[in-house]
Amino acid sequence: MIYLDNSATTPVSKDVMETFIGVNENFWGNPSSLHKFGAMAEQVLIKSERQILDLLNAGDHRVVFTSGATESNNLAIKGMAAGYKSRGRHIITTKIEHPSVYEVCKELEAEGFTLTYIDVTKSPDEIAREVEKSITSETILVTCMHVNSEMGLVLPVQEIGEVVSRYPKVKFHVDAVQSMGKLAVDMDEMNIDLLSVSAHKIHGVKGVGALIADRNLNLQPQIVGGGQMHGLRSGTVNVAGAAMLAKAMRLSIEKQVENSKKIQLLFDYTVKKLNQFDAVQLNSRFENQSPYIVNLHIQGIKGETLVHALEEHDVYVSAKSACSSKTAKASTVLLALGFDEHVASESIRVSFSHKSTLEEVDVFLEALGKIIEKMA
């Protein structure tokens, strides 16, 4: 099997799985319990939180462990909207966000909030200037992803953070799902108030994520009950999941520079070979491009058809984001970036991990060539 759909999910690392199993076997007590066994589980949880904060240089923040990035994004945006609506009802975002951000913003818009959608087809400096021009006395939040999951476009988080830092009443949320362990993330330096991460994108177990949030924020919980997780996310805490996430983040961040160099070579090789196909049009050719993602289309072959055709060769890629790939609609991300309806309907995404190899890419390219010869 040739698996090139790592932006959707990644295989679980053996080291990470060992941590998950080990904590489940030895520290399975409830961290909210008063007895010694519960206290032992609580110490694992505290250690995991400290490790994550250290990895992200987030000294003034705290970690809310969640079920994944979708919950983290919902908590960040809805929690901020509820906590600061008396101050203002204006939020700034983009049209290329993950559905767990974009759809939440649409919900808030229906509830009376004003949304500004920034054009991200411009240069980093122009994007940052547009954010600043959009800030009003009613603005409470700027929310955007670091790396787009379909196209690999890297948004200027550093520049946006610098802008937002000049407006103390405005807070900055970043969806770092596709950048964690792939690009440098320093929350203090980037002036990030809230950051969403997910374990299964960095070779961890599914169903675990976190929202790292400034401890001084008036963030309103979206799940209430027992008051766990600093009162921000009720429910018995998944201690093994927390330890597993911390381990996955540490391993990916420690190898970030080394892995990124390898993936850049893989990206360059893939792009060079794809350019040799007359029928292939590369969509992922931004000035600020993550090498972990290649988006392309073949005229006349729908993305879904191409995904299944490659599957017959035991090669696995995807069309659109995994959270919306089963819908028949054209990619809203590609449309927002200026691509036409045909391209937005016919594109596929190839995405790498540090485990991907040139040999795997060659198998993909060979299969793609056969499909083009037969169908295009």
Pick from 363, 15, 356: nearest CA to 182: 356
Catalytic residue check, 323: yes
DSSP state of 329: S
Closest CA to 200 of 4, 347, 351, 6: 6
The separation between CA 77 and the C-alpha centre of its own chain, rounded to angstroms, equals: 15
Q: How far is CA 267 from the centre of its chain?
A: 19
**How big is the CA angle at 9 (ends 160 and 296), to the nearest 5 degrees?**
70
Q: Is 320 left (phi over 0), alpha (psi -120 to 50) or beta?
A: left
Q: What distance in Å separates the CA atoms of residue 344 and residue 333, rounded to the nearest whole number?
A: 8
What separation in angstroms does the CA of 24 have from each of 2, 29, 63, 64, 233?
Answer: 32, 9, 20, 20, 21
Q: Per this entry, what is the length of the chain?
A: 376
The contacts of residue 340 (CB under 8 Å, 6+ apart) are none
Euclidean distance between CA atoms 172 and 191, whole angstroms:
7
Give the orientation angle of helix 124-134 with respect to helix 157-165, to 10 degrees. 30
Q: Which of 240, 335, 181 is nearest to 27 (CA)?
A: 240
Closest CA to 274 of 283, 286, 282, 266: 282
Q: E strands, the chain, where?
A: 2-3, 61-66, 90-94, 114-118, 139-145, 171-175, 194-198, 209-214, 280-282, 293-298, 315-316, 347-351
Of 115, 271, 279, 323, catalytic: 323
Q: Name residues whose C-beta falls within 8 Å of residue 17's C-beta, 6 or more positions apart in sequence.
A: 205, 244
Residues identified as active-site: 323
